[in-house]
Amino acid sequence: MKVVRQMLERYYTIKENGQSELEIKKSRFICSLKRVETEEEAKQFIQETKKEHWKANHNCSAFVIGEKNEIQRSSDDGEPSGTAGVPMLEVIKKNELINVAAVVTRYFGGIKLGAGGLIRAYAHSVSHALQEIGIVEGTLQQELSIHLAYPQLGKIENFLELQQVNVKEILYTDKVIVVCMVNEKEITAFQESIIELLSGQVNFTEGAVSYYEQLVQPKD
How would you class 110 by CB atoms within 10 Å of its CB: exposed for 0-12, middle for 13-18, buried for 19 or more? exposed
The string of pLDDT tens digits covering residues 47-92 is 999 999 999 999 999 999 998 899 999 999 999 999 999 999 999 9
Q: What angle do CA 16, 22, 24 make, to 5 degrees?
A: 150
Which positions ≥6 away from 26 have C-beta within 8 Å?
A: 109, 110, 111
pTM for the structure as a whole: 0.81
Q: Considering the domain 137-216 in this protein, what is its CATH number?
A: 3.30.70.240
pLDDT confidence of residue 9: 83
The string of pLDDT tens digits covering residues 163-201 is 999 899 999 999 999 999 998 889 999 999 999 999 999
Residue 74, SS3 per DSSP: strand
Check: CATH 3.30.230.30 for 10-133?
yes
- Could you tell me where in the chain the CATH 3.30.230.30 domains are found? 10-133
- Could you tell me where in the chain the CATH 3.30.70.240 domains are found? 137-216
